[in-house]
Amino acid sequence: MTPLILDTGVLVKVFVEETDSDKAVALFQASAEGIYRLAAPDFMAIEFGNVIWKHVQRAILLEEEARQTLEDFPFDRIEWLPASMLLSDAFRFATEYNIAVYDGAFLASAASLGVEFITADEALHRKVRGGLPWVKLLRNLDGLPSGARPPEST
């Protein structure tokens, strides 16, 4: 089973109907079918909760819907990578590409496992696509990811 890193925005699209939710659901379903093994920095669950909270603040979700979404969060379907182990590489990616360290942690996760990283963040993708071809924008996916591997992390 091929590991795959999804950013928080992709996972939110699985639970909240947004642009490209169909693509996010297809990736998530592929993981449920054993095609991929999802992995992410361990803080992703908190970041997911924060995005869901923002959806309540913006009246996109009712509080009860948000609580159900948090209960449905797939903790057991994600391999959690310790942020403490990713910090150095996350910081390196952040300084090299002028991105937030928490975004760098997703890149560090993909680099450490040698797998693709799927993001819904167009600004992040624009900043890294020239140097990191293994970072894929969800919107541009026509099917399931090919499994291109990043170079070994230094």
For 2-140, which CATH class? alpha beta
Q: Write down the mean pLDDT value for the chain.
A: 92
Is it the case that residue 151 has pLDDT exceeding 50? no
pLDDT score at 141 = 87
Mean pLDDT calculated for residue range 2-26: 94
Predicted confidence (pLDDT) at residue 53 exceeds the cutoff of 50 = yes
Q: What is the mean pLDDT of residues 138-147?
A: 75
What b-and-e string marks burial along 96-128, b requiring 16 or more CB atoms within 10 Å of the CB?
ebebebbbbbbbbbbbbbebbbbbbbeebbebb
The predicted pLDDT at position 115 comes to 94
Contact 73, 20 (CB under 8 A): no
pLDDT, position 2: 83
Q: What is the pTM of this model?
A: 0.89
Q: What is the pLDDT of residue 144?
A: 61
